[in-house]
Chains A and B, each alone.
Chain A
Amino acid sequence: MSEALGQANSQAIARYKNNFLKEVEERVEDGQWVKMCMQCGVCAGSCPFGPHWEHSPQKIFMMIRAGKREEVLTSDSMWMCTSCYNCVVRCPRKLPITHIMHGLANYAHRLGLVAKGQPTRDIAVLFWKNIIKGGRLNELTFSLSMYFRDGFGQGVKNAMAMQGIGLALVKTKRLNPMEILGGHMCKDKSGIQRMLAKAAEIEDKRRGMA
């Protein structure tokens, strides 16, 4: 963990002492909903990636209330969310579970507590960087950045493994190699970048993270 991230984490611990629920309520998107969970487990049974994660949303919510800060923020669970919204529509208490999981993922990433190489975190970061550059997703450079995220050698292997699909897409005009030169972009990309920077600043201030 870098020094700045380590510092952000220690500051959060100092600020909230042992009240992790309060920390989540103030700093995590839709965190104020966590205490509404009644532990029925419908979310756990509804998740398509249920068999693969360490803790179900139900467990995560109980762990938050029990103050298990480190276990929650280093869990791989929120990185297994496919955004299918099954849990949201089935939750009898109408908790926005998908958003809470996304919010926890964002917060853990922000504090530098996510395991190195966590694949969903890594592609999510690459996705964001890609879209804010030109205002629109460039599918070609995004795919290449994913393949090459573990270095050049692995990247060539990944790209070779997927070359059948890539060539089929080029052939059907669903992937344009010329996008490497920039491709589709917004005219006001600098305005978009300023807007996003401003929004991050406002939100950080509101959540006491500035």
Chain B
Amino acid sequence: MAKKNYAFYPGCSSQKGASASNYLNSFGLMCEKLDIQLNEVPDWNCCGASIAYAEGSELPRLMLSARNMAIVEKELPGQDMVSGCPACWLALREAKGRFEEHGSMKTEANECLQDLNLSYQGQVKPRHMTEVLIEDIGYDAMKAQVVRPLDGVKIAGYVGCQTNRPFGIDGESFENPMYLDKMIETVGAEPVPYDQKVTCCGGALAFSEPDKSYKQIRDIVESAYDHGAQVIATPCQLCQANVELYQSEINKKQGTKFSMPVVFYSQLLGLAYGGDLKQTGLDGQVIRANVLEKFIK
């Protein structure tokens, strides 16, 4: 089968030595098995995430995404722009939408890009990696590559906010999206129904308002436990980091004994496709996912 080509925008947290580097590590085997070719966007910059707004007003913030899309139009024309990061994807879609809605702002954007020898035409389609898997590959093709079904593992699919709102995956509901559960089934594991699937983890405010965010995280982890989950899986780097890393803080402050592994959907696929510790990025878990690692002999 011919490989499908995509312009790839990893985003800051997926870089080598950054907090979600194991997420990116898990893309290799998954993409190889599914004939996905990722071509990194040359010299891409930060999207501004959802916390740039204090100092970055509207146009400067949108320009961060305009530059990235303009580079794709120039260097990787015709390719959809894929990110594994919900914040990157959201920023691109927001910028694209805003420029479509306000033609004058698009003109302003091009004025700012001129000096960089770039121009933004609005031809790039931003996608999240889960969209590529669901819409371009499909659940059946994802399943066809499974050589190691994750039998008996109970997983809480934690969708969180930004892959789900405001845009979401086509055809899914905001309140109870099913795609992550379907992916969990695809790898032979069991999705557990629980009531915190789309709860906010606190996002960037885990830094500035830790106690308020810990309450969100506690609700998510507790509900996953209460419904029998052994692992939480998510499509979002910040969800992963917040929900995994702060369990120890919550334990310290609130006397809980949380030790719930939090992994990415891509790690589940990589594991089901026969990946080892490194290929699945499971060696990058702060809370080791023993229930998943046991499949690796």
Interaction A to B: yes
Nearest to B25 among chain A residues (CB) is A173
Q: Are B59 and A120 in contact (CB under 8 A)?
A: no
Which residue of A90, A146, A168 is within 8 Å of B207 (Cβ)? A146
Q: Are A191 and B58 in contact (CB under 8 A)?
A: no
User: CB within 8 Å of B: which of A88-144?
Assistant: 88-90, 98, 102-103, 105-106, 109-110, 119-125, 127-129, 131, 135-137, 139
CB distance from B95 to the nearest CB of A (A): 12
A60: Cβ under 8 A from any B Cβ:
no
B223: Cβ under 8 A from any A Cβ:
no
User: Main SS of the interface on chain B?
Assistant: loop
Q: Are A128 and B52 in contact (CB under 8 A)?
A: yes
Chain A residues with Cβ below 8 Å from B43 are 135, 186-188
A80: Cβ under 8 A from any B Cβ:
yes
Q: Are A127 and B52 in contact (CB under 8 A)?
A: yes
Complex Cα distance A136/B40, Å? 15
User: Main SS of the interface on chain A?
Assistant: helix
CB distance from A101 to the nearest CB of B (A): 9
Query: Interface with B: A35-43, A64-72, A198-206, which one?
Result: A198-206
Q: Are A109 and B58 in contact (CB under 8 A)?
A: no
Q: Are A83 and B204 in contact (CB under 8 A)?
A: yes
CB distance from A132 to the nearest CB of B (A): 8
CB distance from A130 to the nearest CB of B (A): 9
CB distance from A158 to the nearest CB of B (A): 11
Query: Interface with A: B72-80, B187-195, B282-290, which one?
Result: B282-290
B245: Cβ under 8 A from any A Cβ:
yes
Chain A residues with Cβ below 8 Å from B246 are 165
Q: Are A80 and B209 in contact (CB under 8 A)?
A: yes
Q: Are B284 and A172 in contact (CB under 8 A)?
A: yes
Given contacts A84-B161, A135-B46, A139-B13, contact A119 B20 (CB under 8 A): no
Given contacts A120-B205, A200-B60, contact A174 B52 (CB under 8 A): no
B116: Cβ under 8 A from any A Cβ:
yes
A11: Cβ under 8 A from any B Cβ:
no
Complex Cα distance A131/B61, Å? 11
Most chain A CB atoms below 10 A, which of B22, B60, B204, B216: B60
Given contacts A139-B18, A191-B116, contact A172 B283 (CB under 8 A): yes
